[in-house]
Structures are given as C-alpha cells and as structure tokens.
Chain A
C-alpha cells in the first residue's frame, strides 16, 4: 500500500484535489493512519505558520497608512499617471534622466564640432579685397596721370599701373562714354573729374580707349629703375601690329602720339635717342620747352613700351591752359615738364628762371630737379622735398611774374605728397599752400586744378 505523496497531501489540504483523485485520496486516508497523521500535521503547521507570520500593528497604524503613502508619493515628486506621461514628453525631463542627458551632450558635442570645422574650413574671398585694393591704387594713380601733350603718364609715375580711361570731354560728359566705360570706383570718377577740370580746353571728341585698370608688377633693378616683371592673371594684352601712322598736325585737331603702356628700362646708349622727340613723330608739343638731360632722362626712361596707345593732345594753335608758351616743337627738342599737362607742368620754364639772379636761379633748378625726381619715384617724402625746394625759391621771385608759378608748384607738391601718404601735417601744409596760391592766382587751369585739389583735400 503506497502512501499519499506530499503533493497529494498538500493539494488535499488546500482542497484542490478533485474527482477521482480526491476520492482515491480519501479512501486511502480512511485506511492509512500514517497519512492521516501527516495530513493533520501539515494542516496544523499551516495554521501555526499563519499565526507565527501574522502581525497586527494596530488600527492606528492603518488609519494613517494612506496618508503616509500619499506623503511619500508627493515627496517623490509624482503627480499622477496622466501628468507623468505629459511630463515625460517635456524638455525638462531630458535633463532629469541621465541617459537622455548623455544623449543631449553627445548631440551638442557633434554640433559644436561641426561648427568648428565649418568655421575652420571657411574660405575668405580674398580676390574681392585684392580687387578693391587694386581699384584704390588705380584711382590713386589716375589722379596725377592726365593726358598731357607729348609725354605719356607712365614715364613719369614709374608705370606702376595702367592708366584709366583717357581724358574725356570736358562738359557735359557724353552718355556714350559712361555707357561704354567700365565700372569704376568713386575715386576713379573723381580723378576723371579732376582731369576734366584741368583740361578745360581739350578737344571734345577724343577717342575712347579701353584700359585694363590692372596693376602690373614691377621690380626695381640695381640701377634704381622699375622693371616690369610679368603680367598678372587676367591681364588682357592685345599688342598692336603696328602703331598708327602719324599724320601731319592740323591746327584745331587733336594729335595722336604714342603712349607706352608701361615702362621698360633703357640702356644708356638708347636713352638719348628715346629722349629725342624727332625719334618719334610728335607734330606738336604745346608749351614744351627744353629741360636738362638729367631731368628728362629719368622721366622718359620708360619711354619704350611694348604696347602703345594713341593719346590725343592739343594741336598747335589750340588753347592750352597752363602753358606759358605755345610754339611748335622743333625736331630734336627734348620733352620738358611743361609737356605734361597742368599737374606736372612747370609754367616757369628754365629760361624764365634763367632771368633770375644766380642764387634764385640755382634754387629754381634744384626745385625742378627734385620735382622731376618726385614725379619719377612718386613717394610722399620726395614731394615734400620738392615742396620745400620750391618754398626756398619763393623768396627770390616774390613780387615778380614767377611768384604765382612758384606758389602753384608748392601747392601741387604739397597736395601730391598728401595724396601719396595722407597725414594731418601734410593735409595742413597742402591746405595752406593751396589757399596761398588761390589768394592771388589768376583765372586758368591751375586755379581750377587748385580748387579741385582743395575740395578733395577737404573731403
């Protein structure tokens, strides 16, 4: 006879045995005293265990139990199931959960890194600044580069940049010229206005010529001469097959002369030939007068050019303001300062200064030499020296016919010094010199130029 198993006794005690199993177990219990004792012991232990494990803390404990649970819920910051769901979607929840906070940190790090990389690899458009600088330099170079008869501007300014558009009609400005011209800076426009004001009698129908307005690179050699190094990118070079054939000058018509695009050094042997007007067709050079070979050699050293342009100048007989004398140019006559227009023109010719006593004459020649040097190399200190030299001349010509001319040279040198390198001192000196000249200056191109310079100085 097999006894009831522990599982059968346990199930029987719990009343979960049903059907035949329960009936069989009950029949066994009727016949088996051991199984009855075991079942009774199991039930007794259960009851004893229930009593042993029970504990009643008292009614007072359970009266306040719900309140304590509520207090713990409030202390935990919980506001309810619905509120928690909304709270879980709030942004602040991201900062309370460490995992989400770490994710936010990782995203922020990636974004910051990408930003740094973008900033580090961003390209700065240098060409715009470069072009702006070039425009500024071109405008600066354009002012002292009018269209004087005979001498190309490059030969005087060291040919640091190509000239702007050639001289344009005085007034009014032709619409075609504006439409045809390239976009220019305001400074360039002012330079052209100044050109017009200094050439009131220029021929109205001058030929429009395009220029690149691009700077060219020059390098100074051992002899102190500026030598073209190369062409910048984008420089459009269209060499002419041949220069236009010169034709005899007709009074009242503009005369085209060859104007070099930039300077190239000349050998000492060729320098004299280049200085000879007769070597090139120059039908007329209004107001031209002889100058010392040393002066003109440095000025016209850059005469030879690979590309030349036609430059209209006033023909003999035309009114050329600022020109002391108007006489046909003789073959072989050297180009002088008077051939360069009002800006670079010395009205007082050497012959005029030759009439002065020895000391003022020497001072005038020294001033002319320094002016030529300043026109050649162009820095502000050179113009300061020239202005000072002309200031020494003024004592010897005071009250005479050359006083106005000398004061104009002083004002011009002071103004150009300020233009090359502006400072308060140069501004004051230029203003004083211009005012002094204008106080007694006669009507004419010099006066107009001085007024324009003064207006620019005040700006």
Chain B
C-alpha cells in the first residue's frame, strides 16, 4: 500500500520562529506558509482519529483557524507541530463528545483499497491485506480516545515520546506506559476479531 510521502514535521531552525512572529504581527502570508507546511500531518492525525475524510477535513481546517486565533499567545521558538496536533486532538475529542459515540468506520479506505485492488496484479493478496486493515481499524476504533491519540501520534505521525508528551500534555513516562497499554489493548482486540496469535 502506497502512502503519501511524509514531509518533515520541523521547519528549518529559525525559520519556524520567524514565521510564527510574522503571523503574530498580522502577516497573512506567513500564516499561510505555516498552514501549507503542516496541513498534511494535521490532516493525517484528524483522519486517523476519525477515519472519516469529511470529519478529517473539517477538523484540519478548524485546527488552523483556532491556531490563527491563538497564535498571539504562542511562544515563538517552541516546536509548532506538537501545538498544532494538540489542537487537532482536542478538537477531535470535542467532536467525539458532541456525538456521544465512537467514530464510525469510514468506507473510504475500502474505496481506496478497491481502487488499488483494481490496479494490482495480486487481487487475492490485496484483498487479504485490506481485510486485515479493516479489522485492525475496527479494533483501533474500540480503543479509548487516549490510546487512539497516543498510537496515532506514535505510529502514524512517528513523533518522539517527548513530542507526544508535549502534544498530549503529559510526562514522557506516561507516554511510554500509555503507549504500551494501547498496543496491548489493540493486540487483544485485534486477536479477538481474527482469532490470530499475538
């Protein structure tokens, strides 16, 4: 399965702080540059947590709107992505609370898998992989929001423990333990769905 090429989550040293200061001074172009740099990772986080393209789009845009409103209070020099991803995670939590339910499993991965399946030379193998992904996504959806967030930031966004701790506002040791429990929980739920071993 092809994935979109990941871009660096960190701008050049000093460049990020300069953009932040310019945006704080009302420079619209600087803020647009920040949006263009972080739009993909923020969208990934939003999609990973919601598994819905529409929700992910709305959450990603709203994340940057909130960032625009609050950028005057952001301390220039701090890493910007953890701050943005934290906004996205909190918005997702708020969305979950409003809906009072777990996010539904989107059919878009299936659509995407079908598109790839049609272009693949091994349809049987692609079907088995897609089915595994579906079960894994379903098991992931059964996790708590905290476990989903920590797994998303670590597995999908490949953030360090320190950045995850900064994003979630918890100590790094908590990230380690929470990530361990989230993986164990995912394994258990995935095994329950497939009947496979560890």
Contacts and interface: CB of A to CB of B under 8 A. Distances in A.
Given A41-B198, A57-B57, A7 B180 contact: yes
B155 A50 contact: yes
B61 A72 contact: yes
A53 B72 contact: no
Nearest to A13: B183
B183 A82 contact: no
A234 B62 CA distance: 83
Contact of B4 (A53, A56, A72): A56
By size class, the interface of chain A is 35 or more
Interface stretch (B47-55, B83-91, B118-126): B47-55
Residue picked from A16, A57, A85, most chain B C-beta under 10 Å: A57
Contacts of A51: 1, 3, 133
A80 B53 CA distance: 29
Interface stretch (B10-18, B31-39, B93-101): B31-39
A411 B71 CA distance: 98
Given A54-B4, A55-B108, A83 B136 contact: no
Contact of A81 (B26, B133, B137): B26
A49 interface: yes
Contacts of B187: 41-42, 45
Contacts of B44: 53-55
B32 A70 contact: yes
B136 A52 contact: yes
Contacts of A10: 176, 179-180, 183
A57 B180 CA distance: 31
A45 to B, nearest CB: 6
A32 to B, nearest CB: 13
B144 interface: no
B179 A57 contact: no
Q: Give the residue among B28, B43, B44, B68 with the most A Cβ atoms within 10 A.
A: B68
Q: For B24, B28, B56, B183, which residue has the most chain A Cβ atoms within 10 angstroms?
A: B183
A23 interface: no
Interface string B18-33: 0000011110100010
A82 B25 contact: yes
Contacts of B68: 69, 73, 78, 80-81
Nearest to A57: B53
Contacts of A73: 65, 68
Interface residues of B, number: 57
A222 interface: no
Interface string B137-181: 100100000000001101110000100000000000000110111
Central interface residue in A38, A41, A55, by most chain B CB within 10 Å: A55
B156 A50 contact: yes
Given A10-B180, A66-B36, A82-B72, A55 B47 contact: yes
Contacts of B36: 62, 65-66
Contact of B137 (A11, A52, A76): A52
B146 to A, nearest CB: 15
Contacts of B183: 6, 10, 42, 45-46
Majority DSSP secondary structure for residues of A touching B: helix
Contacts of A41: 187, 197-198
A212 B163 CA distance: 99
A219 interface: no
A68 interface: yes
A61 B137 CA distance: 24
A46 B28 contact: no
Contacts of A184: none
Contact of A55 (B62, B112, B140): B112
A10 B156 CA distance: 15
Nearest to A75: B65
B27 to A, nearest CB: 8
Contact of A84 (B62, B69, B155): B69
A14 interface: yes
Contacts of A85: 72
B127 interface: no
Contacts of A68: 61
A97 interface: no
Contact of B39 (A14, A49, A66, A83): A66
A6 B47 contact: no
B17 to A, nearest CB: 15
A69 B181 CA distance: 36
A101 interface: no
Interface in A61-106: 61-62, 65-66, 68-70, 72-73, 76, 78-85
Contact of B64 (A14, A48, A69): A69
Nearest to A68: B61
A37 interface: yes
Q: Which of A41, A42, A54, A62 has the most CB of B within 10 A?
A: A54
A8 to B, nearest CB: 8
Contacts of B176: 7, 10-11, 16
A52 B44 CA distance: 11
A38 B156 CA distance: 20
Contacts of B132: 48
A61 B136 CA distance: 27
A53 B137 contact: yes
B33 to A, nearest CB: 9
12 contacts: A7-B177, A52-B133, A52-B140, A55-B108, A57-B57, A66-B36, A66-B39, A69-B61, A79-B26, A81-B26, A81-B68, A84-B69
Given A9-B180, A81-B25, 5 more contacts: A11-B176, A49-B136, A56-B4, A82-B25, A85-B72
Nearest first, the 10 closest Cβ-Cβ pairs linking A and B are A81-B72, A53-B48, A52-B133, A80-B26, A7-B180, A10-B180, A56-B4, A52-B137, A66-B35, A55-B47
